[in-house]
Structure 1
Amino acid sequence: MDKTNSLRVVQMLQEYIEENLQTAITLKELADYSGYSPWHIGHMFKEVSGKSPYEYIRLRRLTRAALVMRDENKKVIDVALDFVFDSQEGFTRAFTKEFGISPYKYHKQTPPIKLFLPQKVYDTYRAMYYVYQNEERMVKTMKTVFVQIIERPERKCLIKRGIEAAEYFKYCEEVGCDIWNVLTSVKEALYEPIGMWLPENLRDNGSEYVQGVELPLDYNKAIPDGYELIVLPPCTMMVFQGEPYDDEKFAEAIGEIWKHIDKFNPELYGYKWAPADGPRFQLAPMGYRGYIEARPVKKIS
């Protein structure tokens, strides 16, 4: 089987697993669903995803269980049984081993933990293939870009710094690509996690590009190893949002917005760029909503 077909099959199984996390799933069931033998599916799944089907299912169940305990007032035993664990004791052992905290303590305190949030393997492959095939391509046409002004209050931000990264791919090389797994777990988040380009006064000898999640000023929970809390000043942000796009064309969508911003004159609307006032930030590229990026501005007196 060629690589592309293997990726398609494994993604099909990822989607099947996601829809059935609260029921028993056997290797034979996955094999029957895919049309391949259990041995072949086990080998293919491990080769493509890096984890055996059993390990993958266990990690997804633990992650979904953690989110339920974070957001709902359910007993640990009920969550354990909902996600097909034989007993509360077995669930507690597995949860504690994976996240370093017991489910009971996590339910009470909900500190940031590293969730297992795998990407869909075939969609990721298509997106990266598109980037490699089109990285030298110039954007020749501009699409509609929606612009709005938002106010960000003074707030804390949980971040993980890189070394000298100025963009996402270098940042992944320096610290890994699973930071979102931790940031997404933070119950008190004011907004969704973001990628940020920090101004000089916030870099503290670290990288320009970081990832983080904004939090209330009174946030005081334990900080995961390698992360830190910084305070972001209140600032005015000009937000640019492009048209929806096919997910594998995210690089082109980002390029279109950057090209638009380069030509944009905020003074026509009574503002000027204010890069020292706060971090420029981007939301996770999602094709259905268009690429979204914000730059700090200040009103012209």
Structure 2
Amino acid sequence: MQYYIEANLKEPITLQSLGRAAGYSPFHAARLFKAHTGRTPFDYIRALRLSQAALTLRGGSASVLTVALEFVFSSHAGFTRAFTRQFGLPPSEYRRRGGAQHLFMPYPVLANHHQTREGEKKMTEESPTRIIFVQVVERPARKLLLKRGEKAEDYFAYCEEVGCEIWDVLCGVKEALYEPVGLWMPAHLVPAGTSRYAQGVELPLDYSGSVPEGYDLIDLPPCRMMVFQGEPYDDAVFEDAIREVWKQIDRFDPTLYGYRWAPEAAPRFQLAPMGYRGYIEALPVEAINP
């Protein structure tokens, strides 16, 4: 159903046509769609149309009305209201700012979704699914307080080198902008004799507080981060949850949404694995047509 929606995003889509594409009744198609994506079909279609419209506004010169009609909105006013609800500002202001954060970029549900034909398996509610939520967020110019290792490439090697108590120190930094993170530093931010993987916390650009012994304080420029969030999971299998998100990141093509990877723009980071919220990791990106 996701593929049908993407292929017909600029055409009217009804529950009947969605059901026919999936091989189900309209009611059953809508119920399964929400169960596997977390959204009703029409919420999903509207959010995806608005995100694609935002990319069109950012990268082109077509009028707001032209873009609204292209993405099946019946009026300038209706499009503006929906756009403002989703992005927090009207289309004309979004274009002026060159904004692109918080786009709705659904990752395909990984499920056996085939019509019953010549022995193919039809999707059932028991079929395993893996849903990855993706969004782009803005990071302002800021400072990064970090503790480096020696050779570590991941969390476990880092803890062996440095110890796990670093996290407690970072959690105690009251000026932090966000929660502490594990970091994979870009090459130009890795001094000789230090590890690519580190742990740190981002601070306001004007931070002038103390720096604990053995830590570094560096400046980071503004950037955009593409954030991947997996489904909630049992904490006992957190390594499997991390690997699943990594697998989907490896397969993901950001150019479909107007971005490309920008590994030197900022550190890649991971939040502490917590089963109730799903595993979260973010990679730096840049707009293809800024």
Structure 1 length as normaliser, TM-score?
0.53
Task: State the partner residue of 1:273.
Answer: 261
Alignment partner of 2:187 out of 187, 192, 200: 200
- Structure 1: which amino acid aligns with 2:266? G
Task: State the partner residue of 2:155.
Answer: 168
- Structure 2: which amino acid aligns with 1:230? I
Superposed counterparts of 1:1-301, under 5 Å: 143-205=130-192, 206-301=194-289
Deviation at 1:220, TM superposition (A): 1.1
Secondary structure of 2:202's match? strand
- Structure 1: which amino acid aligns with 2:189? L
Determine the C-alpha separation between the residues in 2 that align with 1:164 and 1:230: 20
After the TM superposition, which parts of structure 1 deviate over 4 Å for at least 4 consecutive aligned residues? none
- Structure 1: which amino acid aligns with 2:195? S
Determine the C-alpha separation between the residues in 2 that align with 1:228 and 1:220: 13
Determine the C-alpha separation between the residues in 1 that align with 2:154 and 2:136: 24
Structure having the larger proportion of residues in helix:
1
Superposed CA deviations along residues 89-146 of structure 1, whole A, max 9, x for unmatched, are xxxxxxxxxxxxxxxxxxxxxxxxxxxxxxxxxxxxxxxxxxxxxxxxxxxx650000
Determine the C-alpha separation between the residues in 1 that align with 2:172 and 2:267: 22
Structure 2: segments with no counterpart, 5+ residues? 1-127
- What percent identity do the matched residue pairs reach? 65
- Length, aligned pairs only: 161
Determine the C-alpha separation between the residues in 2 that align with 1:162 and 1:237: 24
Deviation at 1:233, TM superposition (A): 1.5
Determine the C-alpha separation between the residues in 2 that align with 1:144 and 1:260: 10
Structure 1 residues 277 and 142, CA gap change in structure 2 (3 angstroms)? farther
- Structure 1: which amino acid aligns with 2:181? I
Determine the C-alpha separation between the residues in 2 that align with 1:160 and 1:189: 15
Deviation at 1:286, TM superposition (A): 0.2
Deviation at 1:200, TM superposition (A): 0.4
Task: State the partner residue of 2:22.
Answer: none
Q: Is the 8 A contact 1:142 1:260 kept in 2?
A: no
Determine the C-alpha separation between the residues in 2 that align with 1:259 and 1:147: 14
Q: Is the 8 A contact 1:158 1:215 kept in 2?
A: yes
Instruction: State the Cα RMSD in Å.
Output: 0.9
